[in-house]
Structure 1
C-alpha cells in the first residue's frame, strides 16, 4: 500500500517523507524496468522511529505497481529485503540470489 505522505520527487531522483520539518529520503536511479536504490537517509534526530522501514514499504509497493525491479545497492534496503522476503518478486533476480531471498 502506498503511503500518502511520501512523494516521488522524480526531478531529484528520490522519494521524500517530510517529518517534523525535516525530510527523510530514498535516492534512486531509474532505468526501466530497473529501479536502483542507492541510499536511504533519515535525519539523525528522527532515527529509531521506523521511518526508513516506512519508506522501504512505500518504495517496494510503488515498484510493484509500476512493474519495476529493485536493485538494492543501499545497505539498508538489502538488509530490509532479507528480513522481508515477501518482496522477493519485486527484486531483480541477480539480487535475489545475492540476498538469499
Structure 2
C-alpha cells in the first residue's frame, strides 16, 4: 500500500512542507513564503537530495497555491520554480495580481 505525500503549512517556519507520509518526522521538501497584507510571496522551493524528479515540488506548490486561493491571498511568485509552475498551470495565473503579472512574465 502506498501513501500520498502530505503537505502542511508550518507558519512558525514560514513555509509549506511536504512529507512522504503523514507522521514522517522530517519533510522531504519545502517552499518558503512571506505573508503580509493579504499577499503571500513565495521565495524559495527546495527538495531534499535523493527526492528530486519525483513530482514532489509540484505537489507541494499546488497545495500551497490551493491554500492561498482558499485564504483569498494574492500570490507573488518570486521563487523561479513557483513562477515556472504557474506558467505551466495557467489555471493558477489568476492568483497573481494583474498589475504584477508582467513582472513575473505571466
Q: TM-score, normalised by structure 1?
A: 0.87
Q: Which residue of 2 aligns with 1:84?
A: 89
Q: Is the 8 A contact 1:39 1:74 kept in 2?
A: yes
Mind listing any 5+ residue stretches in structure 1 that lack a counterpart? Answer: none
> Which SS does the other structure have where 1:36 is aligned?
strand
* Equivalences, count: 99
Q: Which residue of 1 aligns with 2:31?
A: 26
Task: Tell me the CA shift for residue 61 of structure 1.
Answer: 0.6
Higher relative contact order (CA 8 A, sep 6+): 1
Q: TM-score, normalised by structure 2?
A: 0.83
Structure-2 change in CA distance of 1:56 and 1:86 (3 Å): same
Mind listing any 5+ residue stretches in structure 2 that lack a counterpart? Answer: none
Task: Tell me the CA shift for residue 93 of structure 1.
Answer: 2.4
